[in-house]
Amino acid sequence: MPPLLTRLLTADPDSLAEAGAVLRAGGLVAFPTETVYGLGADATCGTAVAKIYAAKARPHFNPLISHVPDLAAAERLGVFGRDARALAVAFWPGPLTLVVPAAPGCPVSDLARAGLDSIALRVPAHPVAQALLRAAGVPVAAPSANRSGRVSPTHVLHVMGDLDGRIDMALDGGPTQVGVESTIVACLGDIVRILRPGGVAREEIERVLGRTVEAAQAEAAISAPGMLASHYAPNARLRLDATSVEKDEAVLDFGGRFADVQAASFDLSPSGDLAEAASNLFAFLRALDATGAHVIAVAPIPHEGLGEAIRDRLQRAAAPR
């Protein structure tokens, strides 16, 4: 791949109009969403989507989420049954991705869908993402804007660190708010399943549907083929649910548990707030990795609410590879 000149621009009306044109012309633009930064391409154009896989060095079998500005645009691409519609109305725009049957004549390229007859759709809430989608006027396929296998970017400098010279443009919209990726819910036939825990907690989804929904499990790896076990990979080894800190370990703390320990340490949330912890997770993993520590001791994270998504990402980061 010949190197590109990657333009890093502050998101404003001029740069957004330009970014929309770059997307329509088949180029790659990284942009902020409320979860993590995404790497966008025109989802309807196979050659544009192919550039995403090349820039990320991502395996081809991994389908992408198509981003659109609102439910009306999503309904042109996918078929929404009662449950999917209820979830879309409750959580869009926001950190929820719905996997639904692709609409007849769905214009999203086979490559973005990895040949599946379903499609993953998301309406992001971030104002820069919203403005970009409206400027582009096409559905935008966007995985997280990192090299495949790396921790997802929550800051535009993470994007540039991974992808400078490999994409056309990066829009700076500041640090992302939610910090973990969207919750992926499949609504296929009568069955609703959470394929990936994320920014919308399972409890909130169950409240809207009025019944319990299965949490993500090992099987989900098959229906969400991108869910490779070691997807979120820092260089250091992670020791989860640590109750003490060993010599030479760095620390990813929660709720001030290890506040008195002498070590390179970041606390995801000194007050024990899971939303704050989610927003800090990937940046702190990158920062701890940069200390050169071989092992990061991770304090126990509660299972409820956003804790499910945080624990999921930590388990993937800890998986052997």
CB of 22 to ligand TXA, least distance (A): 17
Closer by beta carbon to ligand TXA, 147 or else 239: 147
Contact of residue 265 among ligand TXA, Mg ion, none (CB under 5-8 Å per partner type): none
Contact of residue 293 among ligand TXA, Mg ion, none (CB under 5-8 Å per partner type): none
Using the rule CB under 6 A, is 142 a contact of ligand TXA?
yes
Using the rule CB under 6 A, is 144 a contact of ligand TXA?
yes
Q: Which stretch binds ligand TXA (CB under 6 A): 210-218, 222-230, 235-243, 282-290?
A: 222-230
Closer by beta carbon to Mg ion, 109 or else 144: 144
CB of 198 to ligand TXA, least distance (A): 6
Closer by beta carbon to ligand TXA, 83 or else 267: 83
Using the rule CB under 6 A, is 64 a contact of ligand TXA?
yes
Task: Give the binding-site size for ligand TXA (rule: CB under 6 A).
Answer: 28
Q: Which of 28, 65, 84, 298 binds ligand TXA (CB under 6 A)?
A: 65
Q: Which of 144, 176, 269, 280 binds Mg ion (CB under 5 A)?
A: 144
CB of 81 to ligand TXA, least distance (A): 15
CB of 82 to ligand TXA, least distance (A): 20
Contact of residue 122 among ligand TXA, Mg ion, none (CB under 5-8 Å per partner type): ligand TXA
SS (H, E, C) 225-281: CCCCCCCCCCCCEEECCCCCCCCCCEEEECCCCCCCCCCCEEECCCCCCHHHHHHHH
Contact of residue 295 among ligand TXA, Mg ion, none (CB under 5-8 Å per partner type): none
CB of 216 to Mg ion, least distance (A): 15
Using the rule CB under 6 A, is 143 a contact of ligand TXA?
yes
Q: Which of 15, 154, 182, 279 binds ligand TXA (CB under 6 A)?
A: 182
SS (H, E, C) the chain: CCCCCCEEEECCHHHHHHHHHHHHCCCCEEEECCCCEEEEEECCCHHHHHHHHHHHCCCCCCCCEEECCCHHHHHCCECCCHHHHHHHHHHCCCCEEEEEEECCCCCCCHHHHCCCCEEEEECCCCHHHHHHHHHHCCCEECCECCCCCCCCCCCHHHHHHHHCCCCCEEEECCCCCCCCCCEEEEEECCEEEEEECCCCCHHHHHHHHCCCCECCCCCHHHHCCCCCCCCCCCCCEEECCCCCCCCCCEEEECCCCCCCCCCCEEECCCCCCHHHHHHHHHHHHHHHHHCCCCEEEECCCCCCCCHHHHHHHHHHHHCCC
Alpha-carbon distance values, 300 to 74, 250, 268, 303, 306 (Å): 38, 15, 11, 9, 14
Q: Which of 204, 223, 275, 315 binds ligand TXA (CB under 6 A)?
A: 223
Which residues sit at the interface with ligand TXA, rule CB under 6 A?
33, 35-36, 38, 62-65, 97, 99, 116, 118-120, 122, 142-144, 181-182, 184, 195-196, 223-227
